[in-house]
């Protein structure tokens, strides 16, 4: 039964990884850039939520409702102000610029909050769980996180497929020059993609902070898992990101059953296996041009 439990926990953990990964996937899919500060923004959101939750009457839920749209707006500004300029210089420049951002955020957090670990208090959800048969307990928090991941991915997919702006986002990612010829300002569209990415990563950071303690330095590891989930699932496919997250989660929970020390290593090994035997990922949605 412990293996069924590992299965369930792994799948649900995949939801959290998918939530981290979808913003990364979106920014890479639309703009062909990897935001090296992706994980650090999640940690920044967690620390800000901590401050808001402890210093104001907002509480964790209020902080979440405030920070997710705030980070989306912040993402639009970071894209238009910083990343766009780096983009015009060249592809490597965005790596450098976001790497610099990552360092700035980590050190600013260290300066502001010290290196002590914090945790977000999700209130009554912290220990409540659903009791399934056979000794399997599923934490409500994990269920909610997974549900949010599916809802966010579905909403993003719908947005890209049906809405006018989503369609132009796809067009601009194909050919920004031709998109300009039909009246699309690629900079504004990229800003929207970044806003979506920052909003989702803030949500991911907050959901993570509710289940686990965090400190200023864990950003890059979050980025790594997000990156692995995207690659395992397949670049360019949002649902692939969910699959990739679940595969990564399963690898970790099964590895943990074998030996807790292997938890993280198992995930990395599966990632390496995918790179070696199926580098296009499980659900390749577009060929790399």
Partner 1 sequence: MNARQDPDTQADDSALLSVRGLTVHHGQLRAVADLDLDIAPGETVAVIGANGAGKSTLLGALAGILRPSAGTIRFAGRDVTGLPAHRRVAEGICLVPEGRRLFPSLTVEENLLTGAYRRRPGPWSVEAVMDLFPWMRERRGQSAARLSGGEQQAVALGRALVGNPRLLLLDEVSLGLAPAVVQRIYALLPALLNGHSPAQGISVLLVEQDVAQALKVADRVHCLLEGRVALSGRPAELTARQVERAYFGPTRPRDSAA
Residues that bind partner 1 (CB under 8 A): 164, 167-168, 170-171, 173-175, 177-186, 286
Residue closer to partner 1 by CB (options 59, 176) is 176
CA 20 – CA 16 distance, rounded (Å): 6
Q: Which tokens belong to 184?
A: 């699309």
| Distance of alpha carbon 285 from alpha carbon 289, whole angstroms | 12
C-alpha 257, offset from chain centre: 26
| Rounded-to-10 torsion of CA 157, 161, 167, 169 | 10
Residue number with CB closer to partner 1 (179 or 203): 179
23 C-beta neighbours (distance < 10 Å), count: 31
- The span from the CA of 151 to the CA of 44, in Å, is 23
Q: Closest CB to partner 1 among 165 and 217?
A: 165
**Cα 160–161–162 angle (5° rounding)?**
105
144 Cβ contact partners less than 8 Å away, ≥ 6 residues apart: 125, 207
Q: How far is the CB of 170 from partner 1 (least distance, A)?
A: 6
Minimum distance from residue 187 beta carbon to partner 1 (Å): 9
Shortest distance, position 130 Cβ to partner 1, whole Å: 40
Q: How far is the CB of 174 from partner 1 (least distance, A)?
A: 4
Identify the CA nearest to 249 among candidates 76, 7, 24, 48. 7
- Minimum gap (Å) between residue 94 Cβ and partner 1: 22
Beta-strand ranges (E) seen in the chain are: 129-131, 137-139
Integer Cα distance of 191 and 198 in angstroms = 10
CA 22 – CA 200 distance, rounded (Å): 7
- Minimum CB separation of residue 162 from partner 1 in Å reads 10
Nearer residue to partner 1 within complex by CB, 131 or 164: 164
Shortest distance, CB of residue 159 to partner 1, whole angstroms?
14
If the CB atoms of residues 100 and 284 are measured against partner 1, the closer one turns out to be 284
By CB neighbour count within 10 A (0-12 exposed, 13-18 middle, 19+ buried), where does 121 fall? Answer: middle
- Burial category of 10 from C-beta neighbours within 10 Å (exposed 0-12, middle 13-18, buried 19 and up): buried
Residue placing its CB nearer to partner 1 in the complex, 104 or 178: 178
Q: How far is the CB of 289 from partner 1 (least distance, A)?
A: 8
Q: Closer to partner 1 at the Cβ: 105 or 186? A: 186
Nearer to partner 1, 130 or 180 (CB): 180
């Amino acid at each position: 039964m412990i293996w069924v439990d590992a299965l369930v926990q792994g799948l649900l953990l995949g939801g959290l990884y998918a939530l981290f990964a979808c913003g990364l996937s979106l920014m890479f899919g639309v703009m062909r850039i990897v935001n090296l500060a992706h994980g650090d923004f999640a940690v920044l959101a967690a620390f800000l939520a901590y401050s808001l939750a402890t210093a104001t009457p907002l509480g964790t839920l209020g902080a979440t409702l405030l920070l997710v749209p705030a980070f989306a707006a912040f993402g639009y500004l970071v894209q238009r102000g910083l990343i766009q300029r780096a983009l015009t210089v060249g592809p490597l420049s965005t790596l450098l610029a976001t790497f610099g951002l990552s360092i700035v955020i980590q050190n600013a957090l260290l300066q502001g909050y010290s290196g002590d670990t914090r945790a977000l208090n999700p209130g009554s959800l912290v220990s409540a769980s659903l009791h399934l048969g056979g000794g399997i307990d599923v934490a409500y928090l994990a269920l909610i996180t997974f549900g949010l991941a599916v809802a966010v991915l579905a909403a993003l997919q719908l947005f890209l497929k049906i809405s006018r702006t989503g369609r132009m986002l796809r067009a601009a990612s194909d050919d920004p020059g031709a998109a300009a010829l039909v009246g699309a300002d690629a900079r504004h569209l990229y800003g929207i993609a970044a806003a979506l990415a920052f909003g989702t990563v803030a949500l991911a950071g907050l959901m993570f902070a509710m289940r686990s303690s965090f400190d200023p330095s864990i950003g890059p590891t979050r980025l790594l898992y997000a990156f692995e989930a995207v690659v395992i699932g397949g670049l360019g496919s949002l649902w692939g990101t969910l699959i990739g997250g679940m595969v990564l989660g399963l690898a970790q929970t099964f590895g943990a059953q074998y030996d807790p020390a292997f938890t993280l290593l198992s995930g990395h090994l599966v990632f390496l296996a995918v790179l070696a035997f199926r580098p296009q990922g499980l659900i390749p949605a577009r060929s790399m041009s």
